[in-house]
Amino acid sequence: MDLTEKITSVPASIQIIKEGYKIKSKGVFNIEDLYLELYLWFQHHGYAVKELEYRIVYRPDGVKHTEVLWQNTRVVDEYTSFTITLNLSTDLSEAEVTLEGGKKVTRQKGTLEFRSGARIDRKVDVWEGKVLGNVQAKVYELLIRDRLRAQKVELYTEAHKLYDELKAFMMLYR
């Protein structure tokens, strides 16, 4: 057994928040405002928003079930990028609400559920096919370990800021 067989390869991604982190709320919401708020939050924080899925199912009881899956990516440097996935699932029906000034508006009443995860993606493919590629990858990881540690904290903090925004939005309409 030679030296390269003993060294394990560097994983392509590091899970910071495990997929499936859930936030759920029941109440009256303005779903259009939520959608726009989420999009603007990701834009403000430098993420490219990619909508992987948008599906609507109208049920006979008048409830509209919606599934939205976003993959949001921000390039941090030439080696790493942050990815936050966000899966929104709703079961909503139309409801008329009277605002404080007496104006009647249409909102959506029902359940919102978010499932999310956050990870750091690394471009480990630069090491593939090279002699001692795994060794080079491990050495590079050792050289930038402080930067990677700081990036883990940064992504964790950013993701939780998003979760705090979502919770605040849900409380706004209670």
Looking at this protein, which amino acid is placed at residue 171?
A: M
CB 117 within 8 Å of CB 20: yes
Q: What is the pLDDT of residue 99?
A: 82
Tell me if 23 sits within 8 A of 147, measured CB to CB.
no
End-to-end C-alpha distance for the chain, whole angstroms:
63
Q: What distance in Å separates the CA atoms of residue 151 and residue 157, rounded to the nearest whole number? A: 10
Question: Taking the model in full, what pTM does it have?
Answer: 0.86
Cα–Cα dist 99/173, whole Å: 11
Beta strands 104-122 and 13-29 are: antiparallel
pLDDT in tens, 104-157: 998 999 999 999 999 999 988 877 777 777 788 888 888 889 999 999 999 999
Residue 135's pLDDT is what? 83
For residues 74 and 91, the answer to whether their CB atoms sit within 8 Å is: no
User: What DSSP state is assigned to residue 131?
Assistant: T
Coil/strand/helix, residue 108: strand
The model's pLDDT over 34-88, given as tens digits with 9 standing for 90+, comes to 999 999 999 999 999 999 999 999 999 989 999 999 999 999 999 999 999 999 9
